[in-house]
Structure 1
Amino acid sequence: MGVVLIEHWTEFAGAALHRVDAGGHRAYAFLCAGPPVTAQGAPDAYHPDDTGSGSLHDSGWPSGAWRERLVPDPHQPQRPLRQAEGAQAGYFVSTTALADARFPRSNPQAYVDAGRVPYLAMPATWLAQAGAGGVGDFVVVHDRATARSSFGLIGDAGRGRALGEMSERMASDLSGVRAHARSGRGAPQGTLLCVVFPGSRREPAWPLRNSALRSRCEQLLRPLGGVARLAQLADSLAGLPALRPEE
């Protein structure tokens, strides 16, 4: 491993973002505390009776921009499509920006299940910036309090997303207990280090097994010192001064 350089890059939504460079192997990193937990993409995420793993309010239905998070019913496009069969019959079809092209948009199996897959959901306005990366890029999140890490990817993006918003599975990985999007129980409580590898997306980007996600993330981390250096990187970022607007 060579020298790891950390430099201020920019700010977004109150968070300072830093470029991390180890001999041309680049990533960027930021710290966040108490990010939202999402159920988006889970087949049981949203139910019209608000009994899903996520709050119906988070889907945008009935008054918000629900078409960004739910599939419209082709026969009644003014309403979301409900699953017709299976264990989640009656639930809406919850989408993610990352999807499996082998399935039609109406099939819940096309999307990244927040209950099973560790992923970050990023603001679309952030991903529109040069160097921010995109859906399908790999990410590693480290909890300074529990010393636990989660290995995943950017699985969703859109308006209203918070920097560091994460799937239930990623939150569970970090806290060590089952995390619930609806109640917030089990969400990580410490300061989190998020490391993003822009341009690391593979084709096809989805599906991938969680074991493959971890393997690829560990490979990307090696030039930066590997998993063992995540705590040190988090401490380094915590000790850096805030980025001033003129810098």
Structure 2
Amino acid sequence: MNPPIHSNVIPLYFTTDHKLVDADGAPNAYHPDDQPDACPDRGRGIDCLAAAGYPNGSWWQTVLVADPDNPDRPAIQGDGPYKGFYVSMTSLRNTDFAGPASPASYVDAASIPYLVLPAPIYRTDGMGEMGDIGWAMNLDNGRTTPFVIADEGPVEPFGEASVAFWRALGGTPNPRNGEGLPEGRIVYVVFPGSHTDAAIGWPIDRKALAREARRLGAIGGATMVTSCLEPADRSVDAELAAR
């Protein structure tokens, strides 16, 4: 694949039909009033407490900010439009912006299209880092979106992304049950190392994200992604197997 690229960034190209939705970082992701051991299709939070690992999971402190006064419990937002909700984190963060207990220090899954990298990929050099950006395209409907890599996932197949990402590609995602994800095979173009000079602001500005993704690819959206389809497809598994 040889689209025009700036800044000496060599893109990676992945395709997959696997899809998962991530709500982490959204200020309304998790609420203490929701049932701890059940996951109905609707609740106070847009995702279930079980997905955050609270209170019976061992990993909740990787998803929810701990209360500085009581580290055995998650911090609760004390003001703002989502007062009373837990503070949900993403791996990409800027705690200097508003402090570790503020949702503004993390990437909002409901408004910013972001990609989750599975741990084996994230921990492989050259496969993408937090803050790297890219473009994705739904081959079924032609819809595209820029994205930022903003979270690390467990050992799951490639294809997990934020609520805003799947909305941009034509879905109506429900993180509680995984329904509403768009049909179609998804193409991802990642620009490894782009986090070093991508000016996307904080909190991340969606227009700036799209502008920087176009700058890196020299051409934007569907045109750029389509230009990457000319060579033979390389799946994520094939990409990893080659390393």
Asked if structure 2 preserves the Cα contact closer than 8 Å seen for 1:41 and 1:96, the reply is: yes
Q: CA RMSD in A?
A: 2.8
Question: Hey, what does 2:83 align to over in structure 1?
Answer: 89
| Higher strand content, 1 or 2 | 1
**For residues 5-63 of structure 1, what are the alpha-carbon distances to aligned partners after superposition, in whole Å with 9 as ceiling and x for unaligned?**
5xxxxxxxxxxxxxx89696411111111310111100000112332111222111112
Question: Hey, what does 1:184 align to over in structure 2?
Answer: 178
Partner SS, residue 137 of structure 2: strand
**For residues 200-221 of structure 1, what are the alpha-carbon distances to aligned partners after superposition, in whole Å with 9 as ceiling and x for unaligned?**
0037764331000001111112
Give the number of equivalent residue pairs: 227
Mapped pair 1:58 → 2:51: yes
Structure ranking higher on relative contact order (CA contacts 8 Å, 6+ apart): 2
Query: Residue 92 of structure 1: CA displacement?
Result: 0.9
Name which of 205, 208, 211 aligns with 1:215: 211
Partner SS, residue 156 of structure 1: strand
User: How much identity, in percent, do the aligned residues show?
Assistant: 32
Change in 2 beyond 3 A, CA 1:246/1:234: closer
Asked if structure 1 preserves the Cα contact closer than 8 Å seen for 2:9 and 2:193, the reply is: no
Partner SS, residue 97 of structure 2: coil
Gap runs ≥5 in structure 1: 6-19
Gap runs ≥5 in structure 2: 35-42
Name which of 38, 52, 64 aligns with 2:22: 38
Mapped pair 1:75 → 2:105: no
Alignment of 1:1-247 (within 5 A): 4-5=1-2, 25-50=9-34, 51=43, 52-64=45-57, 65-100=59-94, 101-160=96-155, 162-175=157-170, 177-201=171-195, 202=197, 206-222=202-218, 227-234=222-229, 236-238=231-233, 243=238
1: CA distance between counterparts of 2:191 and 2:242? 26
Partner SS, residue 78 of structure 1: strand
Change in 2 beyond 3 A, CA 1:161/1:96: farther
Change in 2 beyond 3 A, CA 1:128/1:21: farther
Which stretch shows the higher mean deviation, 77-86 or 202-211? 202-211
TM-score, normalising length: structure 1:
0.81
**For residues 113-159 of structure 1, what are the alpha-carbon distances to aligned partners after superposition, in whole Å with 9 as ceiling and x for unaligned?**
00000110112332111111210001211100010111021011143
2: CA distance between counterparts of 1:25 and 1:69? 31
Which stretch shows the higher mean deviation, 205-214 or 158-167? 158-167
Which stretch shows the higher mean deviation, 76-85 or 113-122? 76-85
TM-score, normalising length: structure 2:
0.82
Asked if structure 2 preserves the Cα contact closer than 8 Å seen for 1:59 and 1:70, the reply is: yes
